[in-house]
Structure 1
Amino acid sequence: MRPSKAAPLFTPPLTPPNRTRAVTTRRRHLEIKSASPSGDGLSIVEPWGPVLPVAVHLRCRVVRQLTAEMVMLVGERVPLRRDRRRTSCHVRQISMYVCHVVLQISLTDIGYAFRRDRTTVSHACHVVEDRRDDPAFDDFIASVERVVTSVFGAPGGREHE
């Protein structure tokens, strides 16, 4: 009898492994891929658009959450269903505006982060800019801008001096 060679239990891949991990959120399934083989930069592969850097996606989500919390602090009453829908729409528009003006993120990237078109982001920026004629609304937007600047710093990583 001739001795047979046993096949190895595990054969290492010849190419580096695809550095992909799946993240499941409440509403959708996202893939997070490393931008480089060393795994330095991460990016999010959205099913509805191109690859977004994680920083852009997360910054937009944080700005939206900060804006929602500040709107709830200002509001005095529990909103009705119709008012709740309107409030969430205003929160999204303000968040898009602040992301574009303060963080200097492009309209296209903001649109992908909010799952909207870039023209919708442009419309939101125009709506917020038009509403800034009201002094109370302008003060509120200025306070949101200050909070976002204090959280993320000025664009490019420099603080305002």
Structure 2
Amino acid sequence: MAKVLVLNASYEPLNITSWRRAAVLLIKGKAEQVEHNGKLIYSDFNLPTVIRLRHFVRVPYKEIPLTRRNILHRDSHACQYCGYTGEDLTLDHVIPRSRGGGDTWENMVTACVRCNVKKGSRTPQEAHMLLFHQPRKPYSSLYFEVSKHLKSGLHQEWQKYIIGL
């Protein structure tokens, strides 16, 4: 089933919805079509891939939970030291807990067992191990869902509406 990116009136990504829900918003005049993929729902009604709400909707900030699954997704299920992409990945503290490093988005990365053991209770600089990407907190919870679609090759037209991917 086709998914549609919903933008606020300010072009800020709000949500991902089904094409049916997007069509209803368009028909009711609550949204306008920004992008489409050329497929038709009806004779002169294109299947939308990006819509924009006509009126601004205030959305409260929602904290993204720091979980193993979310860290693995942020790091693309790959070791941040060697690039290994297998089943037996662990989480590594960039600044070890024994040195005061905490459980934060900016201090935790995905690592394979081999690299995690090699690094031990040292910092990456002390272990002479460079990180592929500096760990950071994701911009929004929508980041995870959108990045899945973009990494799978679907909906590349969403890229220009997403900052930081």
Would you call these one fold, judging by a TM-score over 0.5?
A: no
**TM-score class normalised by the smaller sequence:** under 0.3
Structure (1/2) with the larger strand percentage: 2
**TM-score using structure 2 length:** 0.24
What TM-score do the two structures reach when normalised by structure 1?
Answer: 0.24
Higher helix share: 1
Larger RCO (alpha carbons 8 Å, 6+ apart): 2
